[in-house]
Each structure stands twice: as structure tokens, then as C-alpha cells.
Chains A and B, each alone.
Chain A
């Protein structure tokens, strides 16, 4: 009789212990922080963070070694944005990821050897200048400029790709060629150019958004 009670309690505990609440309670794969400069756990055939980090770094270092841009007595005014940097590849890509990184890293590295013009902020500047001219706001502490600065050079370039799929194995490959050029805004001369290329192949591709 005494053992019967124990068995009953144990069986009850076992039954209720096995009952599930209907909630998926299994621990999932935890989110992890990855190095943007190295390939991550999700890899495909597209341009990925390690490519962007690497290409921007290479371009910055090459520009800083170019006398026409980084060795002038009077620092040239440069526009680095995505306006004339076209994505003509088969992959959707926010090209500003590349041009913004390039501009920020270059501005930091140049430390006065080049002056960067924020032409994409022209509306903002114009609005503030109008407010100052109308007397709505006071002048700034800096020297009053007659007009916003013009630029000497502007970044141009393109992202192009070549896709291949093997009908026999299902393997895919994609070659990217990313061209960077600095164009003289008076003469159209290309004073600096460089390219970054990479080819990736695999059975599975990632979805890029």
C-alpha cells in the first residue's frame, strides 16, 4: 500500500512532466555578431560585407598614394557619392554602401589633403544660406562664402557582373568587376582609376535584400 502511493505520485509527475504547453520551447540558434571584414555564416554569390570593406580600404590606400589627389599643394575639392557610380550588375545592391564607406574612410585618412564636397547636401546648404540672407537666422561663425564650393574631381564608376550556371551540375558562378574612377570636372580627364574584382561559385546562393 505504501509503495502504491509512491508509484502513483511518480506516475502523476511523469505524466504532467511530459505534458507540453504547445509553445515551441527549444532553444534556437543564437544570433551572433560577425566580423564584417571576413566571410560570415551566410554566404552567397553576391557582393558581401567583406568585399565592401576590402574594396573601400584598397581604394582609399591607393588614392592616398596618388600625387594628383593626395599630393597637391592646394588640397583638391572632391565629390565622392553614388550619383555617377552605377550598378549595372545582375545583383540588387545599395551602392551607397560602397561610396559612403569610401568617402568616410577617405575623409578620415586625408586629414586635410583633400576637401570633400557634400553635393548631396546642396538643398540643405541652400536652405540655410537663404535663411541667413533673409535675416531669419544670424550668420555662422565661419567666413561667409559667396557661394557653395565647386569641386575639382568627382567619383564615377560601375559595378558589372557576369553570371554562369552549369546545366549539368547546377553550380552557379558570378564574376563582379567594380570600377572606380576620379574624373577631373573641368577637363573630363580621369586622374585616377582602380578596380576590384571577385568571382564566386557555389551550389547555393543567398537571397540579397
Chain B
């Protein structure tokens, strides 16, 4: 009787392990911004991707304008809130009016921020009139 129970348990375990199938692909999902307010794409805005600098850096102002050739120049005024020098890197991605990406993100561009100073990070698109939105990211320089 005891042996029968052991064998039965083993059989159940084997069958149960066979039931978990890892075959196939998995659907990617987005994290709802209602649950995590920091997620999502904030159109025409710059965000800090690095928690370590979220208390050290303030984005005082940001905006965009058209250059003489029609490309879109975006800028962010960044203030170093600390009393020591900081380095930050930024990049931006440009999108069309349907919010489809037009070009890959720009290369990370570094600016230096001496203690308690303000500096302007700016970059421009290579596409012209089709650029309608941008999304900028700023991280600590490494």
C-alpha cells in the first residue's frame, strides 16, 4: 500500500511536469502607466532615465524650434542642484505626426554641469517637415 502511494505520487509529478509547455512565442506587453506612473512615452518632453540623478538634476525648461533648413531642434535647460560637478548624457528620438519613429535615437551627447549651474542640452533632427514629436532621455554621464 505504501509503495503504491509512492509510485502514484511519482506518476502524478511526472505527468504534471509534462503539462507545462514552453513551446512557442510570448506576446510582449506594456506596463500600464496607471499602475506605474513613471512608465510610458511623454511626447515632446525630456525625462530622466536614471533614478540616481533625479534628485540632483532639474529640467528647468524645454522646447523646440525649426532650423532654417526645416529640421527640428529640441533643447532642455538642465540645472545641477548639487554643489559638485555633474556630467549628463542626453539623446532624443523623433516621430512623425502618427507618432511613428522617423529616425533612430540620436547618439548620447554629453554636457558638463559645474556645481549649481544651468546648461542647455540641444540636438536636432535630420528629417524636416515630417518631424512632429520628440521624446528626450537624460542619464548620468558614465
Chain A contacts to B: CB under 8 angstroms? 37-39, 50, 53-54, 56-58, 60-62, 64-67, 70-71, 109
Contact = CB atoms under 8 A, between A and B. Distances in A.
Tell me the dominant secondary structure on chain B's binding face: loop
Contacts of A109: 103, 126-127
B110 interface: yes
Given A65-B67, A66-B69, A60 B126 contact: yes
A61 B126 contact: yes
Given A54-B107, A65-B67, A109-B127, 6 more contacts: A50-B108, A57-B106, A62-B124, A64-B71, A64-B125, A66-B69
Interface of B: 67-71, 73, 103, 106-110, 123-127, 142
Contacts of B126: 60-61, 64, 109
Given A64-B71, A66-B69, A67-B69, A58 B142 contact: no
A54 B109 CA distance: 6
Contact of A70 (B69, B107, B123): B69
A57 B71 CA distance: 14
B49 to A, nearest CB: 13
A109 B69 CA distance: 13
A61 B71 contact: yes
Contact of B107 (A58, A62, A64): A58
B63 to A, nearest CB: 16
A74 B129 CA distance: 19
Contacts of B73: 65
Which of B69, B70, B126 has the largest number of chain A CB atoms within 10 A?
Answer: B126
Contacts of A54: 107-110
A57 B107 contact: yes
B101 to A, nearest CB: 15
Contact of B68 (A50, A60, A67): A67
Nearest to B103: A109
Contacts of B123: 58, 61
A64 B69 CA distance: 7
A64 B108 contact: no
A61 B124 contact: yes
Contacts of A53: 107
A61 B126 CA distance: 6
30 contacts: A37-B107, A37-B108, A38-B108, A38-B142, A39-B142, A50-B108, A53-B107, A54-B107, A54-B109, A56-B107, A58-B107, A58-B109, A58-B123, A60-B126, A61-B124, A62-B124, A64-B71, A64-B125, A65-B68, A65-B71, A65-B73, A65-B124, A67-B68, A67-B69, A70-B69, A70-B71, A71-B68, A71-B69, A109-B126, A109-B127
B71 to A, nearest CB: 5
Contacts of B125: 61, 64
Which of A39, A54, A66 has the largest number of chain B CB atoms within 10 A?
Answer: A54
A192 to B, nearest CB: 12
Contacts of B71: 61, 64-65, 70
